[in-house]
Chain A
Amino acid sequence: MTKRRLKILIVEDEEAIAKMIAMNLRVANYDTDIFHDGREACEALREEHFYDLALLDIMLPGMDGFELLEEMKKYEIPVIFLTARDDIESKIQGLRGGAEDYIVKPFDVLELLVRVEKVLERNNKLSDTEKVLDIEINYKEHTVKQNGQEIVLKPMEYSLLELLVKNRNMAISREKILNIVWGTDYYGETRTVDVHIGQLRKKLGWSGYIKTVSKLGYRLEV
């Protein structure tokens, strides 16, 4: 486990969207703070600014996302823009301004989580090792230990495990797994996923944890 839970700031004027993001981040083991107004967020930042990441909308009441980005830079908080604006100018302004990523609404929840994770990884916010259930994963060395004993996994099995662990408690479809781990969209190959899941269950003895979700895919339940 990480030494402390990572904390993510959400500034989004739409309550429904803000809560939805928070709900998913909580499931993925992050702490969240929500603000609906740019200026309020900016003022609160003076008191509390130990955030590992900020998800900012651009069109905000009080203070827009681009202005907030400057504030975030002061406290060295990496920023992902999460906005309905999909014009090139805004994207360029956002990324040039120093944002780590730019996601256009409506977005895929899993994609958001993966991007959040990648940004955290780039900013060294993630620890190299993590303990999940009875195993310990070393993300740097790509090794897995169970009860101090190293388990030998093939590269694809390891990648699959990492994906499941990082998105634990969330069902991931076979297509998405195929896309993220194997980098292919070929629908017919979803069998491959099933085979590798079977291997993982067998090697780790995780048949009870890696659940098959009907019509959807697989979920690691912790």
Chain B
Amino acid sequence: MKDLKIRTRITLISCIMVLSATIAVTGLLIVITYRSMQKEAYAEAYKNAYEKSMDFKNAVGIYRNYDDKDMYVQYYMKTSTDGHIICMSYVNGTVKEIYNVTVFSKEYILNGKYIPGGSSEYRYVKYKGGKYIIFESGIIDNYCLYIIENVSYVDGKIYRIALYGVVITGVVFLITYIILALLLRRQFRPLLKLKKTTALMAEGKYDVRVEVNKNDEVGQLGKSFNKMAEAVEKRDSSLKMFMGNLTHELKTPMTAIMGYSQTMLSVNLSEEEKEEALMYINDECSRLERLSKKLMRLLEIENNGNNLELKCIDVKWLFEETGKITHTVIDSKGILFDYSDDGGTIYAEPDLMLDVMVNLVDNAVKASDKGGRVELSYNNNVISVRDYGCGISEEEQEKILEPFYMVDKSRSRKSGGAGLGLALVAEILRQQDISLKIDSVVGEGTKISLQFVDKTMNT
């Protein structure tokens, strides 16, 4: 039973239930029918017997004064009855059989076994496979009549009806089975498809989907499956992209380091060339280090997403700290750093928020020309970082939050970027339900706004 398909199991169980119901109903019907038929037959038999004994009474009345009464009675029996009567005379304590052409013997009638339930007037008798009712008329002028009524035909009839019942039950069972099997097959088809699709997905084909054209449980399951498949596919492709980008980002410095070190080992370089090669090796090594640090940070943040300790942060403090951390970058480019706030507070994780701000300011500085301007401001639960640098085109605005995406590759590499800053920012903001908005015009600058949830509205 365990190994059977659900479809087969349901079919079998249903069929067994239908079968037992049909058998019960048919059986009950047969029993009721049998009873009523029996009753009818008995009533008929009783009526017959009564009429026969009445006829006999009338007839005996005529013979009453005849000497040879027995002979007349015998004659009467022979001519006027159908042979299912036994006549006995009771004279002075002796019993004499007057007339008997039935299968029963005198002794059987007087001592025979009777079916319990008979009364003194009639008895049920089973005799040589037949069923009979024997009526006793009582003494009529020294004579007693035993009228035999054969009621076997009732059984025969009921057997036939029972046979019909069995055939009908069988047919009903068969039809139920066929209809159920077909119906369930139809109903289970989407489930089977889902099973196949799941197997495909388990093998790594994440682009498979199931067709959903019903809204029942299976349809809903299909919809959920498709949603899941989409999520898995998206996750898979973003992971693949991440890995692809990561390898690319790793290969570039590795190629340079390998190449320069091999060159230094095998070629007689001038002092100047040697210095240059070493400088490049050093640069690429620190680039690798920055990349690994950022990666570690990203992983750390992704893993700690569930146990963030959110606090009230003074925006003024946040801006001042950001300024302290980024001042070397800001000063090196001669950027004018300006911030204004209305003395408010935000609700977030302080260290991560500082990470976000530093990354945003860093990007703003990178985008700015020498002597440019970067502004931080806060009002109405929105922190914004504004620069007047090169700006970001609309198509690039969609991509800049992806890991390893760089607006200007050579420029940001020179300024020490790994392409992970904004991905880090995006991940932190996502965890804290802070939304990020980019307003940028190429050549005019960029404004990045962080919209915080108003906690006074929340409570």
A57-104 contacts to B, CB under 8 A, are 59, 61, 84-85
Name the contact of B268 in the complex, choosing from A13, A105, A107, A169 (C-beta under 8 A).
Answer: A169
CA distance A110 to B259 in the complex (A): 10
Candidate in B254, B262, B277 with the most chain A CB atoms within 10 angstroms: B262
Establish whether residues B255 and A23, one from each chain, have CB atoms under 8 Å apart when the complex forms: no
Residues on B with beta carbons closer than 8 Å to the beta carbon of A24: 259, 263, 267
Candidate in B247, B265, B276, B277 with the most chain A CB atoms within 10 angstroms: B265
A122 to chain B, nearest CB (A): 24
CA distance A21 to B408 in the complex (A): 23
Establish whether residues A106 and B254, one from each chain, have CB atoms under 8 Å apart when the complex forms: yes
B245 to chain A, nearest CB (A): 10
Residues on B with beta carbons closer than 8 Å to the beta carbon of A221: 268
Establish whether residues A13 and B409, one from each chain, have CB atoms under 8 Å apart when the complex forms: yes
Establish whether residues B251 and A106, one from each chain, have CB atoms under 8 Å apart when the complex forms: yes
Question: Does chain A have a CB within 8 A of B266?
Answer: yes
CA distance A20 to B283 in the complex (A): 13
Question: Does chain A have a CB within 8 A of B297?
Answer: no
Establish whether residues B267 and A27, one from each chain, have CB atoms under 8 Å apart when the complex forms: yes
Establish whether residues A19 and B410, one from each chain, have CB atoms under 8 Å apart when the complex forms: no
Q: Which residue of B lies closest to A106 (CB)?
A: B255
Name the contact of A23 in the complex, choosing from B252, B265, B277 (C-beta under 8 A).
Answer: B277
CA distance A106 to B267 in the complex (A): 19
Residues on B with beta carbons closer than 8 Å to the beta carbon of A27: 263, 267
Q: Which residue of A lies closest to B262 (CB)?
A: A109
Question: Does chain A have a CB within 8 A of B396?
Answer: no
Candidate in A16, A109, A169, A213 with the most chain B CB atoms within 10 angstroms: A16
The tally of residues in A whose CB lies under 8 Å from a CB in B reads 30
CA distance A94 to B269 in the complex (A): 34
Contact with A along B410-425 (1 / 0, CB 8 A): 1001000000000000
B339 to chain A, nearest CB (A): 34
Question: Does chain B have a CB within 8 A of A216?
Answer: yes
Residues on A with beta carbons closer than 8 Å to the beta carbon of B284: 16
Contact with A along B252-281 (1 / 0, CB 8 A): 111110111011011111000100110010
Question: Does chain A have a CB within 8 A of B113?
Answer: no
Establish whether residues A171 and B266, one from each chain, have CB atoms under 8 Å apart when the complex forms: yes
How many A-B pairs fall under 8 Å by CB?
A: 83
Question: Does chain B have a CB within 8 A of A172?
Answer: yes
Establish whether residues B262 and A108, one from each chain, have CB atoms under 8 Å apart when the complex forms: yes
Establish whether residues A216 and B283, one from each chain, have CB atoms under 8 Å apart when the complex forms: no
A164 to chain B, nearest CB (A): 12
Q: A61-B409, A61-B410 are in contact. Are A107 and B255 (CB under 8 A)?
A: yes
CA distance A77 to B259 in the complex (A): 25
Residues on B with beta carbons closer than 8 Å to the beta carbon of A170: 266-267
Name the contact of B266 in the complex, choosing from A19, A20, A61, A110 (C-beta under 8 A).
Answer: A110
CA distance A17 to B409 in the complex (A): 15
A80 to chain B, nearest CB (A): 15
Establish whether residues B259 and A84, one from each chain, have CB atoms under 8 Å apart when the complex forms: no
A106-124 contacts to B, CB under 8 A, are 106-110
Question: Does chain A have a CB within 8 A of B248?
Answer: yes
Establish whether residues A106 and B263, one from each chain, have CB atoms under 8 Å apart when the complex forms: no
Residues on B with beta carbons closer than 8 Å to the beta carbon of A84: 247-248, 251-252, 255
CA distance A107 to B260 in the complex (A): 11
Question: Does chain B have a CB within 8 A of A15?
Answer: yes
B257 to chain A, nearest CB (A): 8
Residues on A with beta carbons closer than 8 Å to the beta carbon of B247: 84
Contact with B along A1-42 (1 / 0, CB 8 A): 000000000000111110111011001000000001000000
Contact with A along B117-154 (1 / 0, CB 8 A): 00000000000000000000000000000000000000
A54 to chain B, nearest CB (A): 18
Question: Does chain B have a CB within 8 A of A174?
Answer: no
CA distance A107 to B255 in the complex (A): 6
A186-222 contacts to B, CB under 8 A, are 213, 216, 219, 221
Q: Which residue of A lies closest to B257 (CB)?
A: A106
Establish whether residues A13 and B410, one from each chain, have CB atoms under 8 Å apart when the complex forms: yes
List 17 A–B pairs whose Cβ atoms lie within 8 Å, in order of A's numbering. A15-B410, A17-B256, A19-B280, A20-B277, A27-B267, A59-B248, A61-B408, A84-B251, A85-B248, A105-B251, A110-B262, A169-B268, A170-B266, A171-B266, A219-B266, A219-B268, A221-B268
Residues of A within 8 A of B (CB): 13-17, 19-21, 23-24, 27, 36, 59, 61, 84-85, 105-110, 169-172, 213, 216, 219, 221
Residues of B within 8 A of A (CB): 247-248, 251-256, 258-260, 262-263, 265-269, 273, 276-277, 280, 283-284, 408-410, 413
5 further A-B pairs in the complex, CB-CB below 8 A; given A19-B280, A84-B255, A170-B266: A14-B252, A20-B280, A85-B248, A106-B258, A108-B262
Ordered nearest first, which 9 A-B pairs have the shortest CB separation? A171-B266, A106-B255, A16-B256, A20-B259, A84-B251, A105-B255, A16-B280, A109-B262, A106-B254
